[in-house]
Structure 1
Amino acid sequence: MKKSAYAFLVQNQDSEVMLKYILGLINNKEAIDINDIAANCYVSKSWITRYFKSHGWDGFREFKFLLQNESKNPIGIQKEENQENQLIIESIEKTIDLNQNENFTKAIEIIKNARRIYIVAVGGNNSVAIELKNRLDRLGFETEFNIDQHGMYVQISNGKKEDVLIAISYTGETREVIKNVNLGIKKQMRLISITRNDESTLSSLSDVILYTENTESPFRTLSVRSRVSMFFLIIKLAMMIYNEDYEKYDEKLILNSY
């Protein structure tokens, strides 16, 4: 069993400047980014990876993942008034900070020029994918989403290079998502990703990234922060598409009102 990442930080912060810096990020609820750590602690990214490997982790990525899924104050132990409201508001604020409107503008141009849009997601993110499909459908776009991953793979295999993939994965490493994405890329489709602000396989393959809030607590099983962040991103994306030509989209919305 892996040792506690947070306990390691607390116990060793006085012996390594980098650990004290990371602990400061955690206490200030700021994003943990290897590029930022390397720059501010005057070390290389490879040195950071080697350091955490030498202390029992597979590298910085695993250490960060475990750290973000731990907590010294779990929800429910010290109940604060309006805690739920604050969590939601903080998640949206962090998502806004992570994404410039330029990211949305690039994503919208890709979507508008697409022949068909394939949405890829698994597990808990299926709810986000369904909501995104519904919103794009109502705006008149041809979209495809299939909860069955084999079925999604078949649909993408019949796609063309004029089509677009929208992939949703918090970690950016979800095996089923990456498999479908790689198929789409082989068919020269462009890729828009909704994922956390981190170095990942999905990020490296993407043409445009919409970043989710990336400080999920140990209540990862609830996925509150990441899910709020994802829903905010797709709602903002749909609103920005609508605002580019509201008269055109008003007609479509009226026609498909049930």
Structure 2
Amino acid sequence: MFSSEVISTFNDLDYNIYNYILNNGEQVIYMRIRDLATATHVSTSTILRFCRKVGCDGFSEFKVKLKLYLESESEESVKGMKEFAYEFMERTLKGNLDEVITEAAHEVVRANHVLFVGFGSSGILAQYGARYFSSLGKFSIAINDPYFPINAQQLDNSITIALSVSGESPQTVDQVTRLKEEGSKIISITNTKSSTLAHLSHIVIPYYATEERREIANLPLNITTQLPVMYILEATAREVYKLT
């Protein structure tokens, strides 16, 4: 409903209305034009001009389109989560995920140091993984700085758990290459076994989620679900806890 082409035509008042609608869409569809004008501190004529910019003849038509848009987004989200749950459970039950997680857990138990590596959204999960493993008794640290100083002595008998959806992130691949060269064993959690990161790894835990990409404000974004990563991290940490 709000394409990047339309958004690029917005002025400051339009952005104010747009942001309010994004945060209060469910309420806006039941508002009168005066209510929205009051809430956004603009005139009713400004609201009407905004409606025309997004392809509507008036506020009533805009509310109908907004309602349909919100319903379609909600249905798509629910459908997507159901498809993900079925897809992931199907592959988990039919594959050897548990065996690979157990193998990885044994390697973690034998290691003196556990390093988590990831950047972007994978960096956030690397921090979560380090905290979760530490809370279960295996002290770990997260590296999400591409210039993190690597000390060979500190990496003695270490294991690195690298996170990347594509397995092709230059920052992740560079960091993992350096860690591997210094003697750290590599476990990768990634979406495919055929990526560069996977080929650098001693153990690969792939989850094969269907990739999702969107473009927002002309920026390509990878929005592939990270829920399998959460599952794998927690399952591995719990297995490490049982083995120690």
Whether the TM-score (by the shorter chain) exceeds 0.5 is yes
> Which residue of the partner structure matches residue 52 of structure 2?
none
Aligned pair partner of 1:83 in 73, 76, 79? 79
TM-score normalised over the length of structure 1? 0.57
Which deviations, in whole Å up to 9, do the C-alpha atoms of 1:28-59 show, x marking residues without a partner?
xxxxxxxxxxxxxxxxxxxxxxxxxxxxxxxx
Which deviations, in whole Å up to 9, do the C-alpha atoms of 1:139-164 show, x marking residues without a partner?
2223121332212xx14555333111
1:178/1:237 CA distance change after superposition, 3 Å: same
Segments of 5+ residues of structure 1 without an aligned counterpart are: 1-74, 246-258
Which deviations, in whole Å up to 9, do the C-alpha atoms of 1:182-201 show, x marking residues without a partner?
11111111110001123121
Shift of 1:95: 5.2
Runs of 4+ residues over 6 Å off in structure 1: none
> Which residue of the partner structure matches residue 178 of structure 1?
173
2:147 is aligned with 1:150: yes
Shift of 1:125: 0.9
Considering fraction of residues, name the structure with more strand.
Answer: 2
> Which residue of the partner structure matches residue 237 of structure 1?
236
CA contact (8 A) 1:173 1:200 kept: yes
Which deviations, in whole Å up to 9, do the C-alpha atoms of 1:220-244 show, x marking residues without a partner?
836242x011111111112222334
- The CA distance in 1 between the partners of 2:87 and 2:151, in whole Å, is 32
TM-score normalised over the length of structure 2? 0.60
Residue pairs, 1:7-156, within 5 angstroms: 76=72, 79=75, 82-94=78-90, 96=92, 97-151=94-148, 154-155=149-150
- The CA distance in 1 between the partners of 2:137 and 2:88, in whole Å, is 27
- The CA distance in 2 between the partners of 1:222 and 1:172, in whole Å, is 12
- The CA distance in 2 between the partners of 1:241 and 1:84, in whole Å, is 32
CA contact (8 A) 1:156 1:180 kept: no
The structure showing larger relative contact order (alpha-carbon pairs under 8 Å, at least 6 residues apart) is 1
1:165/1:95 CA distance change after superposition, 3 Å: farther
Letter in 1 for 2:234: I
Shift of 1:85: 3.9
Percent identity reads 18
Letter in 2 for 1:90: Y
